[in-house]
Amino acid sequence: MRTHLIPLIATAYMSGDLGTTIKSPVGRIVWGHPCKSRPATDNNNLPKLDKDGKQLMEVSFGLAIPEAEFHAQVWPAMAAEIQKGFPNGIPGNFSYKMTQPHEIDNKGKPYAEREGYAGHVVLAVSTVLEAPPVFQWTGTQWAQMQSDAIKCGDYVQVEINFKVNVPTKPTHTPSVYVNPRQIAFVGYGTEIKSGFQADPNATFGAGPAALPAGASATPIGGAPAVGMPGAPGNPAMPATMPGAPSALPVAAASPPPVAPAIPAGPQRPLDPTHIHDNGNGTEQWFVNGAWDGGAHPAPGAAPAAPALPPPATGFVQQAAGMPGAPVAGMPGMPGAMPPR
């Protein structure tokens, strides 16, 4: 597929450093959306505010890149950018903005069990600026796509800018920004849906529950139901019908569907980006556009990250303090990806 995106690596090291920009290998969007925004939070899950004190909106999505291609084409540029900010060693709490398939989520399950994660490194790509443009090759030129023409599950290439973040406040988390600049649509994939998917058949069974005492299958003291005798648009049924008894038998009423009960309190999100592990066996949830600030018991503590082998050689020329090459678990990287 032809592309107009920039060459693989273009790194700036001069004053006013703009970071390191690459063209990613083809990857799959496995969570979020490159064109839809939501309220932005920082590494401590506090709202990101603009100069007027209003919460910024963020565009974020997970880009799943095959491990071998990530190691060869993405990690060298990413590691070089990180080392620029931490030449004497990477802090242990550094946020790499990625998830590896051998890691365990807050529910104690491997990320590899999720659709699109097995054998892939998933980069958390995000920006608080406007959504990046998405282009599709028409056969003769690149044309910008409508935001609703691309979905979670599709395959894309992304022009990504890495910029190391060296915080000035000790309470802030050192990290690397992974910002999208533009996106080339490559192909359609099976849609990946997150969040609650309603299925009344699975929840309520093949029919409604029996009417309790005091309930009626027809309106009580109000207008007749649509389609019932006497309702607007339906001819009134005569009191008696020719050749029929003066009193018509009354048909047994069918019980109405029962409305689902409203759960009490906020429900735990299914999207992992809406869950923040407090690090003490509790977690916060992103509900109705904001973090609920609660301390809900976590479903299960994540087991310790598996032991990592020593750094591989011959992959990235290593310097003092530079993280090892991310082969077979990427030595030097944390376990689960910290919340963004």
Q: Domain extents for the chain? A: 9-193
Contacts of 31 (CB under 8 A, 6+ apart): 61, 62, 122, 152, 192, 194, 271, 272, 273
> pLDDT confidence of 137, banded at 50, 70, 90?
very high
- Which pair of structure tokens corresponds to residue 295? 């301390």
Contacts of 104 (CB under 8 A, 6+ apart): 110, 111, 302, 303, 305, 335, 336
Q: Output the pTM of the full model.
A: 0.56
Classify the C-alpha dihedral 140-144-148-153 as positive or negative: positive
In one letter, which amino acid is 11?
T
Does the pLDDT value for residue 264 go beyond 60? Answer: no
Q: Report the alpha-carbon distance of residue 270 to residue 299 in Å, rounded.
A: 12
- Which pair of structure tokens corresponds to residue 321? 């303090």
For 12, 95, 175, 224, 322, the CA distances from 92, given in Å and listed in that order, are 26, 9, 11, 69, 13
Tell the CATH topology of 9-193.
OB fold (Dihydrolipoamide Acetyltransferase, E2P) (2.40.50)
Does the pLDDT value for residue 85 go beyond 60? Answer: yes
Q: If DSSP codes are grouped into helix, strand and coil, which group holds residue 148?
A: helix
pLDDT at 127: 92
Q: Residue with structure tokens 């049924």?
A: 237
pLDDT at 223: 56
The secondary structure of 73-108 as a DSSP string is: IIHHHHHHHHHHH-TT---TT-B-SEE-TT-B-TTS
Length of the chain: 340
Helix (H) or strand (E) holding 202: helix 200-204
Judge whether 183 and 107 are in contact, CB under 8 Å: no
pLDDT at 222: 63
pLDDT at 209: 83
Provide mean pLDDT across the span 89-101. 91
B/e letters for 13-41, b = 16+ CB within 10 Å, e = fewer, are eeeeeebbbbbbbbbbbbbbbbbeeeebb
Higher pLDDT, 241 or 81: 81
Q: Report the alpha-carbon distance of residue 66 to residue 134 in Å, rounded.
A: 21
Q: Report the alpha-carbon distance of residue 185 to residue 155 in Å, rounded.
A: 7
